Chain A
């Protein structure tokens, strides 16, 4: 039984704090026991129960709890989402190296099977926790809550949460992040925002990666921007290459502006 949320262990989600112990943790429901002190008879007739409960209620509650934790410690938590291979881990590797000494970082890596990405982050000298979701195609707030328990990110740090590569369902699961950052690369179609509108609608920043490949692929930058703005007129869009480094400074400025803002609060 886990003390924080009352869940039972034993299931398919595995959490690895790199360089430390590991423990498996359950895919399970959170049951709330109740006492029958309201004095009634168990009638056999049919009763209508007004439920009116959001299906994502449990996830949203734990997300709020994570958010409270981040606020209390003044941690800037960012949820990074993309299709597989768009460059989430590459962007983190570059960022962690380039801003080392300027900002304090911690990383949660979500992946179905391997710890490859966490190993890449670990190599930069940053504190990292891997969540393996098994068959699960997204992170949820409960997994993040447990990852946080072991890692204890520092006050005033930036916490990157790399979600499972998937532009569909991670859109529905609030992790308690401050902002959601969606990454696409120029080797993907410029209609991505229209195909995955939920993700672009719920993100505040869109990073278009691999612009070093623009000469070789049929990718219309203006079109992707127009499509993204149709879905979410408030979306900020940055163009970068993790390989050449082009545009990364604007991303670093964005990041620092967010840290400065959260320091004021």
Chain B
């Protein structure tokens, strides 16, 4: 379950950033998670509950921006939403795609005090 190590990294980043801002409390954390990021949300929830206990993020409100995956067809240039890497181009049916978004996995912002 790599979601646990992902949550641990998020806690590390949050702590580092809070220290840098000389803050003691993290009120909110905003995350960008793309639908092709490799994160399974149920596992993520489970890991989050376990890992934030006793950490700087214990009382923080979490906001997740789900980033939709988009691709450009390298054959016909169409731009469209995808759910999987193997989705074909809806215009020409080809699979040569350039992934434009959806792989995001980042800490976007914090609200600290």
Contacts and interface: CB of A to CB of B under 8 A. Distances in A.
Contacts of A34: 19-20
B17 A47 contact: no
A56 B9 contact: yes
Interface string A44-63: 11111111111111110000
Contacts of A50: 108-109
A52 B108 contact: yes
A31 interface: yes
Determine the interface band of chain B, counting residues with CB < 8 A from chain A: 35 or more
Contacts of B105: 54-56
B66 interface: no
Contacts of A48: 109-111
A179 interface: no
A229 to B, nearest CB: 7
A53 B31 CA distance: 10
A51 B9 contact: no
11 contacts: A45-B113, A47-B23, A49-B21, A51-B17, A52-B107, A53-B106, A55-B10, A55-B107, A227-B86, A230-B86, A232-B85
B51 interface: no
Given A44-B113, A231-B85, A49 B17 contact: yes
A53 B107 contact: yes
A182 B13 CA distance: 31
A55 B13 contact: yes
B9 A58 contact: yes
A227 B109 CA distance: 39
Determine the interface band of chain A, counting residues with CB < 8 A from chain B: 35 or more
A206 to B, nearest CB: 14
Pairs A-B, 7 closest by C-beta atoms: A169-B2, A230-B86, A29-B12, A197-B85, A49-B110, A46-B113, A51-B107
B50 interface: no
Contacts of A40: 22
Given A173-B2, A198-B38, 7 more contacts: A47-B112, A47-B113, A48-B111, A53-B17, A169-B1, A172-B38, A231-B85
A194 B84 CA distance: 9
A233 interface: yes
Interface of A: 29, 31-32, 34, 36, 40, 42, 44-59, 136-138, 140, 168-169, 171-173, 193-194, 197-198, 200-201, 227, 229-233
Interface string B1-15: 110011011101101
Contacts of A58: 9, 12
A56 B86 CA distance: 24
B106 A52 contact: yes
A84 to B, nearest CB: 16
Contacts of B19: 34
B85 A137 contact: no
B109 A51 contact: yes
B36 to A, nearest CB: 8
Contacts of A56: 6, 9, 105
Contacts of B79: none
B86 A231 contact: yes
Given A34-B19, A36-B22, A232-B85, A46 B38 contact: no
B88 interface: yes
A138 B65 CA distance: 27
B33 to A, nearest CB: 9
Contacts of A231: 84-86
